[in-house]
Structure formats: C-alpha cells, structure tokens
C-alpha cells in the first residue's frame, strides 16, 4: 500500500498497532478531514475541536489562506537548502522581528524542541568567553523531548529511563523569585521559562515574577529565554505573550501555531545576542523552507487582517464566564485560568474521564498534568461553538461519577 486508501477507523487502528511505535496514548478514533474547528473521522462522525493540532491549529483545520499559500508554493519551490536565499524565509524573518519590540533576528527550524535546542546553544555561545554555560529552568516546565530541551524540562517524570541528563541545568520554583536567585551561580548564562506554563497546567506567573526575572538577568548579565512555543503567535491576545508584561526577552522560541499547522519552529533573538550564531555554529536542513515559511506568512496575514488578536481576548472572556459560572454549580472545578485562547480548568479529580466523556459527545479537549482540562481553541471559533462545547463539558462534569 503506497497511497492513502479509504480505510475504516478499525482498519487504520489495526495497521497502526502493527506498524507504529507505541509511544503515544491514542484514542480509538482515526481522523481523516478537518475544516475550521470541525474534524471528521473515517466513518463520517463530526467532532468539535477545542484543541486543534495540540495548539498548532491557531486558525483551525485547513485555514483557506494557508491552504492556498501552500498549494501555490508546493508547485513553485518546495525546499532548497540554506546555502541560498529565499523570499518567503526572508519575509517571515522580517514579519516576526517587526512584531517583537527589539528588532529580533530569526533562525528557523521545524519544531518547538529544536527551537529550544537552538536557544540553549545560543545562550552557551554567548556565555563562552566568561566560562558560563548553566541555564536555570523552572519546576512544571515543558521545553521538548530532545536531550537539551528535555533536561531543561524540570519535571523528573520525563527523564525516567533516559538518564543521565545533560550537565549545566539548575532547577528553581516557578513563581518564586528567591528560589531562582538561589539557583543562579557564577557559571550561569541564562534563565529559561515559559511565560505561561502550558503542559504544566496553564500556570500564569504571579504578578512581578517576570519583571523580577528580567531584573535578575540584568543584574547578573544573564540572558532571558522565553519559550513561547505554546503562548506565541497570538494565542494569548498579543503576538507574543511577553507583551502582556513590561519586559523584553533576549531570546524567544516559537513553533506550534507559527505556520498554521505546518511544521515549523523559530528562534528570535536580540541582534547583539544573535550575532554569536555564525556559520558553522548551528543549522537545520529543512529550517525555514519555502513551504512552511509561506504557510507562516499566510497565518500572520490572516490573524492581522481578521482582527484575531482581539478575538483571542473575547474567546478567553467567554470561556472564563462559562467556567466560573459552572464552578458555582460544580464542586469538581477547583480553579479557572485563562489568558486569551489559552484556557485551563483545574479539577479536584483526574480529568481523563472528562476527556473521554466529551469525546463520546463529539467534543475534543485535552487534559494535562492529570487534573487540568486544557483548551487551545482556534481563534476562528464562533460564540455558538463556544457555548455548544461548554454545554458538553458542563454536562460531562455535572454527571461525572467520582
Ligand atoms: C512550551 C513548549 N515548548 C516546547 C514544546 C515542544 O514542542 P515540539 O513538540 O514541537 O517539539 C512544547 C510542546 O508541547 C511546548 O508546549
């Protein structure tokens, strides 16, 4: 079998079990088609998707302008190596840099973990002349699955079985400035964190924390690396989440929503910091290829032209109202955390049964950190879809057998 055939869900799942590694926990559903916030399985059942593409589908499934850009580009030039210049990559660098307020320079790769590997290397390259190489990262963080990003991920459960981890990472407590200050020593070159922790449970930094970290970095000559793989590209109502606070990072990492569902990652750094990335220091064969870059440009254009940063804020407010209302009636809800279209509902019980219950009623959601329902909806989600989906979540939660 070389091309896609019309198989049933049962056939696809049986073949997957035979031919794929078993490293993912998968639901027994085979998806075949998507449009905006809807997806369909092989039997034609339709699902409302509040978690499109694990945060990558910022415009939902198959957004028309991204589809058109990719269709045009795929017939023009798919990939050339970075020994040549291309217009899409260059224009994307300009678009990302212009949206930072520090004239950021871009390096492109293909995923979040790769963007963070680049950030770790760039921090070490900047610290080299002072013999500084250590990076402080925070409890509850998630930075990816390759060995550098995985070591940066200060959650021991992800390290089990693949130790020893890399040297040069010190862990401190998220939200606790004193703990971070204690973790910094004379060999530290950077502090790295997500401005809002995603996988860790949609954890917002307490007031003053990010500003305090910036001050700490300035005091000790450290770089501030913000992992915006999940929070970036409009997710929280600003192009980059750090723009909600009065701070600027030295290095920013992006992926997920960057190219509207096409695989792409990026590092964006202050020019004085980025200059250490000289020829030979770092590379990615597929990084910034014309196909992904055109998809990213179309994503940015759509967000801008359709006023979707403002829409992210409205979406967040509507979900917040619904979940705070539900919390009054449902003792299982312990907390609601929202920043734009990044939504976490903390439960007092494990959330897996809620995800399953929603799936059975045609709604796709996620649960992270065992007890936090996480929604990363498309910025194109309609009010009606929000209400319909929240009705399903309410129904499942209010009837949950605990
Ligand atoms: C904040 C953050 N950083 C990095 C990653 C890793 O991204 P990828 O899976 O594209 O390597 C993720 C993935 O969930 C993430 O949420």
Mean of pLDDT values over 263-269: 98
Q: Whose CA is nearest to atom 8 of ligand 1?
A: 112
pLDDT of 130 > 70? The answer is: yes
In this structure, how many other beta carbons lie within 10 angstroms of the beta carbon of residue 232? 31
| Short-list 264, 328, 322, CA closest to 296 | 264
Mutate to test the pocket of ligand 1, among 51, 137, 174, 230 (most ligand atoms within 8 A of CB): 230
Quote the ligand 1 centre to 6 CA distance (angstroms): 32
Share of the chain above pLDDT 70, in %: 99
pLDDT of 5 > 60? The answer is: yes
Task: Report the SS3 class of residue 196.
Answer: strand
CB 400 within 8 Å of CB 349: yes
Query: Which atom of ligand 1 lies nearest, measured to the CA of 111?
Result: 10
Give helix 87-99 / helix 290-305 axis angle, nearest 10°. 40
Tell me the C-alpha distance between 69 and 296, whole Å.
Answer: 9
pLDDT of 124 > 80? The answer is: yes
Quote the ligand 1 centre to 253 CA distance (angstroms): 10
43: part of which helix (H) or strand (E)?
none
Tell me the C-alpha distance between 299 and 69, whole Å.
Answer: 10
Mean of pLDDT values over 363-388: 98
Q: pLDDT (tens digit, 9 = 90+) per residue, 210-240?
A: 999 999 999 999 999 999 999 999 999 999 9
Query: Which atom of ligand 1 lies nearest, measured to the CA of 141?
Result: 1
Mean of pLDDT values over 57-66: 98
pLDDT band at 384 (very low <50, low <70, confident <90, very high): very high
| Short-list 314, 317, 353, 350, CA closest to 336 | 317
Tell which wins on pLDDT, 402 or 52: 52
Q: pLDDT (tens digit, 9 = 90+) per residue, 169-218?
A: 999 999 999 999 999 999 999 999 999 999 999 999 999 999 999 999 99
Quote the ligand 1 centre to 270 CA distance (angstroms): 22
At residue 32, the pLDDT reads: 96
Pocket around ligand 1: residues whose beta carbon is below 6 Å from it?
111-113, 116, 142-144, 194, 198-199, 227, 229-230, 255
Q: Whose CA is nearest to atom 7 of ligand 1?
A: 112
At residue 89, the pLDDT reads: 98
Quote the ligand 1 centre to 7 CA distance (angstroms): 31
Mean of pLDDT values over 8-31: 97
Tell me the C-alpha distance between 387 and 392, whole Å.
Answer: 9
Quote the ligand 1 centre to 114 CA distance (angstroms): 9
Query: Which atom of ligand 1 lies nearest, measured to the CA of 198?
Result: 16
CB 140 within 8 Å of CB 154: yes
Mutate to test the pocket of ligand 1, among 255, 287, 369 (most ligand atoms within 8 A of CB): 255
pTM of the model: 0.98
At residue 25, the pLDDT reads: 95
DSSP characters over 206-219: PTTHHHHHHHHHHH
Quote the ligand 1 centre to 350 CA distance (angstroms): 23
pLDDT band at 402 (very low <50, low <70, confident <90, very high): confident
Mean of pLDDT values over 254-259: 98
Mutate to test the pocket of ligand 1, among 53, 118, 138, 143 (most ligand atoms within 8 A of CB): 143
Q: Mean pLDDT in the chain?
A: 97
Phi/psi of residue 361, each to 5°? -100, 10
Give helix 64-74 / helix 290-305 axis angle, nearest 10°. 150
Quote the ligand 1 centre to 368 CA distance (angstroms): 13
Quote the ligand 1 centre to 333 CA distance (angstroms): 27
Q: Is 372 left (phi over 0), alpha (psi -120 to 50) or beta?
A: beta
At residue 3, the pLDDT reads: 58
At residue 180, the pLDDT reads: 98
Phi/psi of residue 342, each to 5°? -125, 110
Quote the ligand 1 centre to 187 CA distance (angstroms): 27
Tell me the C-alpha distance between 73 and 23, whole Å.
Answer: 33
Tell me the C-alpha distance between 260 and 233, whole Å.
Answer: 10
pLDDT band at 87 (very low <50, low <70, confident <90, very high): very high
At residue 255, the pLDDT reads: 98
Phi/psi of residue 153, each to 5°? -70, 105
Q: Whose CA is nearest to atom 4 of ligand 1?
A: 143
CB 339 within 8 Å of CB 244: yes
pLDDT band at 4 (very low <50, low <70, confident <90, very high): low
pLDDT of 161 > 80? The answer is: yes
What are the chain's domains? Answer: 23-62+309-398 (3.90.1150.10), 66-305 (3.40.640.10)
Q: pLDDT (tens digit, 9 = 90+) per residue, 287-346?
A: 999 999 999 999 999 999 999 999 999 999 999 999 999 999 999 999 999 999 999 999
Query: Which atom of ligand 1 lies nearest, measured to the CA of 263?
Result: 10
First to last CA, the chain: 45
Mean of pLDDT values over 270-292: 98
**Entry field: residues in the chain:** 402
Quote the ligand 1 centre to 376 CA distance (angstroms): 14
């Amino acid at each position: 079998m070389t091309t896609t055939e019309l198989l049933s869900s049962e056939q696809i799942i049986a073949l997957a079990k035979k031919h794929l590694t078993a490293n993912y926990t998968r639901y027994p559903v085979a998806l075949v088609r998507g449009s905006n916030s809807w997806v369909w399985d092989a039997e034609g059942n339709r699902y409302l998707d509040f978690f499109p593409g694990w945060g990558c589908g910022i415009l939902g499934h198959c957004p028309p302008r991204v589809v058109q850009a990719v269709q045009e580009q795929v017939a023009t030039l798919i990939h050339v190596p970075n020994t040549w210049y291309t217009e899409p990559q260059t224009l994307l660098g300009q678009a990302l840099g212009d949206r930072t307020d520090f004239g950021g320079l871009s390096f492109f790769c293909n995923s979040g973990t790769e963007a963070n590997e680049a950030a770790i290397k760039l921090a070490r390259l900047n610290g080299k002349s002072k013999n500084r190489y250590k990076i402080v990262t925070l409890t509850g963080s998630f930075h990816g699955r390759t060995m550098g990003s995985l070591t940066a991920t200060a959650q021991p459960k992800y390290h089990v079985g693949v130790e020893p981890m890399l040297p040069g990472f010190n862990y401190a407590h998220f939200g606790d400035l004193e703990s971070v200050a204690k973790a910094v020593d004379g060999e530290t070159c950077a502090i790295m964190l997500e401005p809002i922790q995603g996988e860790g449970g949609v954890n917002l930094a307490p007031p003053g924390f990010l500003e305090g970290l910036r001050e700490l970095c300035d005091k000790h000559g450290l770089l501030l690396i913000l992992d915006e793989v999940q929070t970036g590209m409009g997710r929280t109502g600003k192009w980059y989440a750090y723009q909600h606070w009065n701070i600027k990072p030295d290095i920013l990492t992006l992926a997920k929503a960057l190219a509207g569902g096409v695989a792409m990652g990026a590092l964006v750094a202050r020019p004085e910091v980025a200059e250490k990335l000289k020829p030979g220091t770092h590379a990615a064969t597929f990084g910034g290829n014309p196909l992904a870059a055109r998809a990213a440009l179309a994503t940015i254009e759509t967000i801008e032209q359709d006023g979707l940063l403002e829409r992210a804020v409205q979406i967040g407010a509507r979900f917040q109202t619904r979940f705070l209302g539900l919390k009054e009636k449902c003792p299982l809800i312990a907390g609601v955390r929202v920043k734009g279209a990044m939504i976490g509902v903390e439960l007092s019980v494990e959330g897996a049964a809620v995800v399953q219950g929603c799936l059975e009623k045609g709604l796709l959601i996620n649960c992270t950190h065992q007890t936090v329902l996480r929604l990363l909806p498309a910025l194109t989600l309609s009010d009606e879809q929000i209400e319909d989906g929240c009705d399903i979540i309410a129904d499942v939660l209010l009837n949950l057998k605990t």
